[in-house]
């Protein structure tokens, strides 16, 4: 008698709440699958139209983070619905979770700040591994960038670990292209027009007949007589180069300029 009663109750529960729980589980599985397929398809379309190895890695990082957040939300909502259908009062559980979440929130405020800032940096494609950047008073080559921090190595080999949440201004010196800028100081008695032609000639020779010719994007640009000081006049010029090539091109230009000035007995105060 009791067994039959239990079987009747179980059958009734299975036909009502049990079916609803199964339906919720099926919806959860479909939602998780949909999120996985959608983010994967979005990544493939984006990467195929904007192929770049470093950009691809960043996009995959963002995809993983976004999918994880959505998965947790789906599982949390589905679990609460299932618990409710099982007759478990989820009110106290939600209140306890709120208290725990508040405590964890205060403790993880820095982490959340880093993640949000890292997300903005990555999605905005502000920096990539291999860029030379300056953040605050630290500058160097970007060795790593993720959702938590940026890692720089400066010219002396020092490694700087910078939290994304502490980053305010980023100066990227190798974004798309770079400039090698020259302030050429000569004696005030020198002929300006002659000097400009000499500088142009060195720039043209550097662009056409040097190991750096493939790194130079445009002919040397003479910006003109920039300023006077007590000992010299300053002619400013610049050469547009591929990213991160400006320093090598600049050193070669300076070497050739010094040799030419020595050859022509042009004074460098």
Placement of tokens 């405020």 in the chain: 109
Q: Write out the chain's pLDDT in tens, 269 residues.
A: 556 555 555 565 555 666 777 777 888 888 888 888 887 777 666 656 555 655 666 666 667 667 777 887 888 888 887 777 777 776 666 666 565 555 555 556 777 788 788 888 877 778 888 889 999 899 999 888 877 889 999 989 999 999 988 898 999 998 889 999 999 998 888 888 999 999 999 999 999 988 999 999 999 999 988 888 777 889 999 999 998 899 999 999 999 999 999 999 888 87
**Residues shown for the chain:** 269
Query: Is residue 120 in a domain?
Result: no
Q: Are residues 139 and 191 in the same domain?
A: no
Q: Are residues 183 and 168 in the same domain?
A: no
Q: Are residues 22 and 97 in the same domain?
A: yes
Query: Is residue 256 in a domain?
Result: yes
Q: Give the C-alpha separation, 64 to 51, whole Å.
A: 19
CB atoms within 10 A of CB 206: 23
Q: Are residues 86 and 132 in the same domain?
A: no
Annotate 123-142 with b (16+ C-beta within 10 A) or e (fewer): eeebbbeebbbebeeeebbb
What SS3 class is residue 222? strand
CATH code of the domain containing 152: 2.30.30.60
At residue 95, φ and ψ (nearest 5 deg) are -65, -45
Contacts of 21 (CB under 8 A, 6+ apart): 82, 85, 86
Which pLDDT score is estimated for 93?
62
Query: Is residue 121 in a domain?
Result: no
Q: Are residues 156 and 226 in the same domain?
A: no
CATH code of the domain containing 234: 3.30.70.100
Q: Give the C-alpha separation, 246 to 254, whole Å.
A: 12
Query: Is residue 184 in a domain?
Result: yes
Which pLDDT score is estimated for 11?
61
Query: Is residue 49 in a domain?
Result: yes
Q: Are residues 187 and 255 in the same domain?
A: yes
Q: Are residues 255 and 193 in the same domain?
A: yes
Query: Is residue 116 in a domain?
Result: no
Contact 154, 135 (CB under 8 A): no
Q: Are residues 7 and 102 in the same domain?
A: yes
Q: Please give the residue range of the domain that contains residue 249.
A: 178-264
What's the number of domains the chain is made of?
A: 3
Q: Are residues 131 and 198 in the same domain?
A: no
Query: Is residue 44 in a domain?
Result: yes
Domain end point (choices 117, 141, 172): 172
Q: Are residues 46 and 91 in the same domain?
A: yes
Which pLDDT score is estimated for 81?
79
Closest among 15, 10, 112 to 65, alpha carbons compared: 112
Query: Is residue 243 in a domain?
Result: yes
């Amino acid at each position: 008698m009791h067994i039959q009663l239990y079987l009747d109750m179980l059958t009734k529960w299975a036909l009502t709440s049990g079916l609803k729980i199964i339906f919720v589980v099926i919806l959860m599985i479909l939602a998780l699958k949909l999120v996985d397929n959608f983010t994967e398809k979005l990544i493939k379309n984006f990467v195929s139209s904007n192929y770049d190895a470093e950009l691809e890695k960043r996009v995959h990082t963002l995809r993983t983070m976004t999918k994880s957040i959505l998965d947790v939300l789906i599982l949390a909502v589905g679990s609460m619905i299932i618990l409710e259908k099982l007759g478990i009062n989820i009110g106290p559980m939600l209140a306890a979770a709120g208290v725990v979440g508040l405590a964890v929130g205060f403790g993880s405020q820095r982490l959340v700040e880093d993640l949000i800032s890292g997300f903005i940096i990555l999605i905005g494609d502000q920096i990539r591994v291999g860029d030379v950047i300056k953040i605050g008073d630290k500058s160097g080559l970007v060795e790593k960038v993720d959702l938590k921090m940026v890692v720089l190595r400066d010219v002396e080999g020092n490694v700087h670990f910078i939290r994304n949440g502490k980053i305010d201004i980023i100066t990227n010196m190798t974004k798309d292209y770079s400039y090698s800028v020259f302030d050429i100081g000569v004696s005030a008695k020198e002929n300006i027009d002659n000097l400009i032609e000499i500088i142009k000639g060195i720039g043209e020779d550097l662009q056409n007949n040097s190991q750096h010719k493939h790194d130079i994007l445009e002919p040397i640009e003479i910006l003109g007589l920039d300023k006077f000081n007590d000992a010299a006049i300053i002619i400013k010029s610049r050469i547009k180069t591929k990213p991160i090539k400006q320093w090598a091109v600049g050193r070669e230009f300076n070497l050739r300029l010094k040799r030419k000035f020595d050859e022509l007995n042009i004074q460098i105060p």
